[in-house]
């Protein structure tokens, strides 16, 4: 390029340097003007030094007294907390010792009194079958108790003295269990494995042997068994093993790390878990039933209520924090949840608060963290009720969700097997439907037709689909289906208040209402056969069959290796290779990286359209009257007509038009909607394109809408166009467009679109240069007839700042200068190709492609060209926080999102004044009209007002996913490259 064009491209940077130098010259002058004023103010008010010292000493003493007072209060609270914990530990230890004493005493009764007495009336075989190896168990537990008593005697002094909280109690027991070749509690294996046979024989003799009946009667008269049945004594060794686990688990949880006894307690707890797990292999169901019986006794629950279901067993217990909706201020409380195979029993302060029945449609809802007051929320949904839980950390939340999901899935499978056993071999498994509102978007927020779209994720057994729905549509559905299905208990929707409809509080309430309404409607058995519901929600007709269909696809098309996505780097890359990724290009190709990221995301989360794709064809070749016609505009302004169904998603159309346009990589492009006011918004992959266009056309009607169109000088045509959206490092992008001329042209015209939308801050000469490049790419010529198209590059307000002649003269001058330069480059590249020089195959000779390359290079001098830019309002509280830090921030700024960072741009020329790496972003929360960043470098969350909050959050998460993929697959940290 000649010197003039180079000067044109360099002009903005030179202007920035001039502004900066002027600012630096002004700073010393301002400081010099301020210094005399400061000196004058200091000298005009002389203050006695002694007075300052006296005042300061009084203040210091007062502050010191306050600090001592607060410190004392704090220490007092810590002491009370520690004292309470010591007291609790003492009670748990006492319970372990006392229950062990009682247990050994009961074993002695069985072995030394009952068994001995029975030898006169029972055969040796009967005695051995009923009492098994109880003598061996008694002998061992006496030794175990004796060692406990030694440790406890040192811990628990006389009544006049406090216990020694740091004294080891269980050291001797831990050493016992470590003794090599010691049978210890493994003697319980024989007892437990033979107990089922023993119990049956005991019941047989009890019913048929008269002498044995009289023997049992005599035991009761003598009060040998304290009024209990012999069977209750014989089952005690079975009950004792799980009791050890519960007691030592509780003690371990309430023992701090600095306690010398903690390693011993952990060792014993671990030992009992291992013994119990091994023991469960012998009698899993029986043990579960016995634990259930024990739970019923301890909680004083009617045994018939818990034991009436023969397949119900005890599974596990967990300490959870729940939110009580009826409590004041939604208080959270600590509860113990006892998980049975088909029921959850919630206990607080040793009282049963709730019994939640589980069935095949139960599930665990992973709730969104876009909440102002709570985070790490999840909900267990059962039959007619729920348990609202809150975890301490994201890791704990995931652990609980996985744990309860596994329990529910096991119950679902057992229930399905039982139904099949009843005779209906063709019965289909029903899967739970989950509904979560994952975000909101304000549409037409600068218009009279402003409304909120609720982005709602509907899933069935981990097959997902996002729908975009208005609250008014839910209200219509509520009236309609309450009349059609009066037996379904559909929840009541909040009253409509037009004045409050766009307030955050109202929108949050509506989100919950939408979730509950759609959950109840889709979960009800009688409504699942209604095609109208699925059609209104734009879900496929076979929505409820998708889990079975997906499993059949996996079995027929995928090997077991392909079904399990590997997480290690090497195996993960091989997995990607099998899915069509060129592993060798991952380090040099932006398109290959994006393709791989999307494949990995789809592997983890299966979308409905992957299983049931919708039809997209060229409208000219379509003979199907049910298809709807839509027009897609490419970056260079050309158009194509497509035929789509009423459920075709944006992602399906984008994929089709990319192939139609012979674009190799397209994941960095999106479809945009240009509305009636010429405002653009990016379309979500899951939006139904026909519904998007239809809604926009509906918004064009009415007097107020027509007035808006007149003021905006709009013709109210709905336009869908394809445009660049995700930006990766220049070296990776360059590798792709060198090999793909179609991509080169699309990228260049996307830049010209940005120029027209004033994304880049340009002057008169820069606009002329980009206009000249447009004519080179589009027509390869420039004349009077074509000059009118200059308005496709130069925005109207900028064009009006100069005369038509001034624009035409300089654009023509730039065109000619570029033509000479491009001709020279074209000839040189042609000679290189003839001589077969290195990389000459990537050098274009067509001036159209050369102009596209110049366009990309010219845009790269502007940092704004590699980011998506959003205008936001700085929240008032955030402005004050920045001001306290010494940062002056304009109330309106721009946020730029690139692959590297979040960029803060000033409102005048979109120049960067701050940037933050994504690694320093702890989290992003989007609300209907706000977005909040939790950043490591600031103590407070940074809040901005914007109606594009969901789009910003989604793009940040997409860039973070790309960076995570880069690190996970060791691609050389391509995204740390500096531009």
pLDDT digits (tens, 9 = 90+) for 629-654: 899 999 988 999 999 988 999 999 99
pLDDT digits (tens, 9 = 90+) for 300-349: 777 677 777 777 888 888 989 887 654 444 467 889 999 998 899 999 88
| Fold of the domain spanning 72-284 | Dbl Homology Domain; Chain A (1.20.900)
Give the model's pLDDT for residue 705: 52
Give the model's pLDDT for residue 500: 55
Average pLDDT for 82-98: 86
Q: Are 692 and 673 in contact (CB under 8 A)?
A: yes
pLDDT digits (tens, 9 = 90+) for 679-719: 888 999 999 998 888 887 776 555 445 554 444 454 446 78
Residue 5: pLDDT band (50, 70, 90) is very low
Give the pair of three-digit tokens for residue 21.
Answer: 């130098």
| Alpha-carbon span 329 to 327, nearest angstrom | 6
Average pLDDT for 182-197: 84
> Which range among 21-25, 275-279, 380-384, 436-440 shows the weakest confidence by mean pLDDT?
21-25
Q: Are 248 and 118 in contact (CB under 8 A)?
A: no
> Which range among 375-379, 380-384, 445-449, 915-919 shows the weakest confidence by mean pLDDT?
445-449
pLDDT above 90 for 13? no
- Return left, alpha or beta for 349; rule: phi > 0 is left, psi -120 to 50 is alpha, else beta: left
| Alpha-carbon span 965 to 569, nearest angstrom | 10
pLDDT above 80 for 293? no
> DSSP 3-state assignment of 395?
helix
pTM: 0.65
Give the pair of three-digit tokens for residue 890.
Answer: 């304009």
Q: Are 944 and 895 in contact (CB under 8 A)?
A: yes
Q: Are 921 and 956 in contact (CB under 8 A)?
A: yes
Residue 334, beta-bridge partner list: 321
| Alpha-carbon span 579 to 566, nearest angstrom | 13
- Sheet of 386-390, strand order: 351-357, 343-348, 332-340, 314-323, 386-390, 377-381, 363-366
pLDDT digits (tens, 9 = 90+) for 343-379: 999 998 888 888 888 888 888 888 776 655 567 888 8
The highest-level CATH class for domain 309-427 is: mainly beta
pLDDT above 50 for 472? yes
* Domain residue limits, the chain: 72-284, 309-427, 727-859, 868-977
- Return left, alpha or beta for 416; rule: phi > 0 is left, psi -120 to 50 is alpha, else beta: alpha
Q: Provide Rg for the chain, Cα atoms.
A: 38
pLDDT above 60 for 883? yes
Q: Are 902 and 896 in contact (CB under 8 A)?
A: yes
Average pLDDT for 467-493: 90
Taking the CA atoms of residue 867, residue 871, residue 872 and residue 874 in that order, the dihedral angle to the nearest 10 degrees is 90
CA 382 vs. chain centroid, Å, equals: 22
Average pLDDT for 895-901: 92
Q: 961 versus 48: which is more confidently predicted? A: 961
> DSSP 3-state assignment of 745?
helix
pLDDT digits (tens, 9 = 90+) for 225-280: 888 888 888 988 888 888 898 899 889 888 888 888 899 999 999 998 888 877 76
Distances (CA, A) of 391 to 161, 311, 322, 356: 40, 31, 9, 19
Give the model's pLDDT for residue 274: 85
Give the model's pLDDT for residue 958: 92
> Which range among 250-264, 479-493, 603-617, 705-719 shows the weakest confidence by mean pLDDT?
705-719
Give the model's pLDDT for residue 562: 44
Q: Are 309 and 258 in contact (CB under 8 A)?
A: no
> Which range among 668-677, 739-748, 770-779 shows the weakest confidence by mean pLDDT?
668-677
Q: Are 662 and 742 in contact (CB under 8 A)?
A: yes
3-class SS string, 540-599: CCCHHHHHHHHHHHHHHHCCHHHHCCCCCHHHHHHHHHHCCCCHHHHHCCHHHHHHHHHH
| Fold of the domain spanning 727-859 | Acyl-CoA Binding Protein (1.20.80)
Average pLDDT for 52-73: 58
Give the pair of three-digit tokens for residue 342.
Answer: 């088909």
Name which of 698, 705, 701, 702 is nearest 677 in CA terms. 705
Give the whole-number percent of the chain exceeding pLDDT 70. Answer: 81
The reply to whether 868-977 shares the fold of 309-427 is yes
pLDDT above 90 for 520? no
Distances (CA, A) of 609 to 493, 602, 615, 647: 30, 11, 11, 10
Contacts with 12 (C-beta within 8 Å, 6 or more apart), sequence order = 761, 762, 763, 766, 861, 862
Average pLDDT, rounded, for the chain: 81
Give the model's pLDDT for residue 959: 92
- CATH number attached to the domain at 868-977: 2.30.29.30
Residue 519: pLDDT band (50, 70, 90) is confident
Residue 834: pLDDT band (50, 70, 90) is confident
Give the model's pLDDT for residue 161: 52
> DSSP 3-state assignment of 462?
coil
Give the pair of three-digit tokens for residue 145.
Answer: 């108790």
Give the model's pLDDT for residue 72: 67
Give the pair of three-digit tokens for residue 721.
Answer: 């166009």
Distances (CA, A) of 769 to 12, 16, 477, 826, 911: 13, 19, 55, 19, 21
């Amino acid at each position: 390029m000649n010197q003039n064009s180079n000067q044109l491209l360099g002009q903005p940077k030179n202007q920035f340097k001039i502004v900066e130098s002027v600012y630096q010259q002004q700073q010393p002058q301002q400081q010099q003007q301020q210094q005399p004023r400061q000196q004058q103010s200091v000298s005009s008010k002389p203050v006695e030094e002694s007075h300052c010292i006296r005042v300061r000493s009084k203040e210091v003493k007062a502050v010191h007294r306050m600090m001592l007072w607060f410190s004392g209060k704090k220490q007092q609270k810590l002491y009370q907390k520690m004292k309470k914990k010591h007291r609790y530990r003492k009670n748990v230890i006492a319970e372990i010792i006392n229950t062990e004493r009682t247990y050994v005493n009961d074993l002695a009764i069985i072995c030394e009194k009952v068994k001995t007495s029975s030898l006169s009336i029972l055969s040796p075989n009967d005695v051995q079958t009923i009492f098994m190896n109880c003598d061996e168990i008694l002998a061992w537990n006496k030794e175990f108790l004796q060692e406990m008593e030694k440790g406890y005697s040192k811990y628990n002094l006389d009544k006049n003295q406090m216990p020694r909280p740091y004294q080891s109690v269980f050291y001797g027991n831990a050493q016992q269990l470590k003794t090599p070749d010691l049978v210890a509690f493994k003697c319980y294996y024989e007892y437990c494995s033979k107990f089922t046979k023993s119990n049956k024989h005991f019941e047989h003799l009890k019913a048929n042997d008269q002498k044995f009946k009289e023997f049992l009667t005599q035991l009761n008269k003598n009060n040998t068994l304290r009024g209990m049945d012999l069977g209750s004594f014989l089952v005690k060794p079975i009950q004792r093993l799980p009791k050890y686990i519960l007691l030592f688990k509780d003690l371990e949880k309430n023992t701090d790390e600095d306690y010398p006894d903690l390693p011993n307690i952990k060792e014993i707890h671990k030992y009992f878990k291992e013994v119990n797990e091994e023991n469960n292999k012998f009698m899993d169901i029986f043990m579960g039933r016995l634990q259930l019986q024990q739970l019923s006794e301890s909680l004083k629950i009617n045994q018939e209520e818990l034991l009436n279901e023969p397949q119900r067993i005890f599974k596990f217990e967990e300490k959870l924090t729940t939110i009580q909706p009826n409590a004041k201020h939604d208080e959270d409380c600590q509860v113990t949840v006892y998980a049975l195979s088909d029921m959850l029993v919630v206990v607080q302060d040793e009282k049963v608060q709730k019994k939640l029945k589980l069935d095949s449609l139960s599930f665990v809802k992973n709730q969104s963290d876009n909440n102002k007051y709570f985070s790490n929320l999840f909900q267990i949904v059962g039959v007619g009720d729920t348990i609202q839980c809150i975890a301490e950390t994201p890791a704990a939340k995931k652990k609980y969700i996985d744990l309860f999901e596994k329990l529910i899935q096991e119950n679902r499978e057992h229930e399905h097997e039982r139904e099949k056993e009843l005779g209906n071999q063709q019965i289909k498994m029903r899967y739970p439907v989950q509904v979560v509102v994952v975000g909101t978007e304000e549409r037409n927020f600068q218009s009279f037709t402003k409304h909120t779209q609720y982005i709602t994720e509907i899933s069935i057994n981990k097959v997902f689909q996002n729908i975009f729905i208005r609250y008014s549509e839910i209200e219509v559905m509520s009236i309609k289906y309450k009349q059609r299905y009066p037996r379904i208990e559909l929840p009541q929707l909040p009253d409509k208040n037009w004045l409050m409809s766009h307030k955050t509080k109202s929108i949050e309430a509506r989100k919950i209402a939408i979730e509950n309404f759609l959950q109840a409607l889709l979960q009800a058995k009688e409504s699942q056969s209604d095609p109208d519901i699925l059609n209104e929600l734009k879900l496929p007709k076979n929505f409820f069959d998708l889990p079975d269909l997906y499993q059949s696809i996996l079995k027929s098309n995928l090997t077991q290796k392909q079904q399990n996505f590997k997480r290690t780097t090497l195996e993960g890359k091989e997995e990607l290779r099998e899915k069509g990724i060129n592993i060798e290009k991952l380090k040099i190709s932006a398109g290959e990286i994006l393709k791989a990221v999307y494949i990995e995301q789809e592997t983890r989360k299966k979308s409905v359209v992957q299983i049931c794709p919708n039809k997209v064809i060229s409208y000219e070749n379509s003979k199907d009257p049910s298809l709807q016609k839509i027009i897609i505009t490419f970056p260079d302004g050309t158009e194509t007509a497509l035929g789509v169904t009423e459920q075709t998603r944006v992602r399906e159309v984008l994929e089709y038009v990319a192939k139609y346009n012979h674009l190799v990589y397209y994941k960095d492009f999106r479809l945009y909607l240009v509305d009636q006011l010429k405002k653009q918004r990016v379309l979500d992959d899951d939006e139904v394109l026909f519904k998007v266009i239809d809604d926009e056309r509906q918004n064009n009607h009415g007097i107020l809408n027509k007035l808006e169109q007149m003021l905006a000088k709009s013709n109210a045509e709905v336009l869908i166009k394809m445009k660049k959206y995700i930006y990766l490092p220049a070296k990776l992008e360059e590798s792709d467009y060198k090999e793909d001329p179609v991509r080169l042209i699309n990228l260049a015209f996307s830049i010209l679109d940005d120029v027209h939308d004033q994304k880049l801050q340009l002057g008169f000469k820069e606009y002329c240069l980009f206009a000249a490049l447009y004519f080179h790419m589009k027509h390869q010529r420039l004349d009077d007839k074509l000059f009118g198209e200059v308005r496709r590059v130069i925005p109207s307000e900028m064009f009006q700042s100069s005369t038509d002649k001034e624009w035409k003269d300089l654009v023509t001058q730039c065109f000619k200068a570029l033509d000479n330069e491009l001709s020279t480059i074209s000839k040189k590249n042609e000679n290189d190709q003839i001589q077969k020089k290195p990389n000459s195959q990537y050098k274009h000779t067509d001036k159209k492609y050369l102009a596209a390359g110049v366009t990309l290079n010219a845009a790269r001098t502007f940092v704004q060209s590699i980011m998506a830019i959003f205008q936001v309002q700085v929240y008032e509280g955030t402005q004050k926080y920045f001001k306290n830090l010494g940062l002056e921030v304009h109330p309106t700024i721009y946020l730029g999102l690139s692959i590297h960072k979040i960029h803060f741009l000033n409102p005048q020329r979109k120049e960067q004044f701050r940037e933050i790496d994504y690694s320093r972003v702890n989290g992003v929360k989007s609300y209907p009209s706000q977005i909040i960043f939790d950043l490591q470098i600031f103590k407070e969350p940074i809040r901005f007002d914007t109606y594009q909050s969901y789009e910003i959050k989604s793009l940040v998460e997409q860039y973070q996913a790309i960076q995570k993929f880069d690190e996970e697959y060791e691609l050389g940290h391509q995204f740390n490259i500096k531009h």
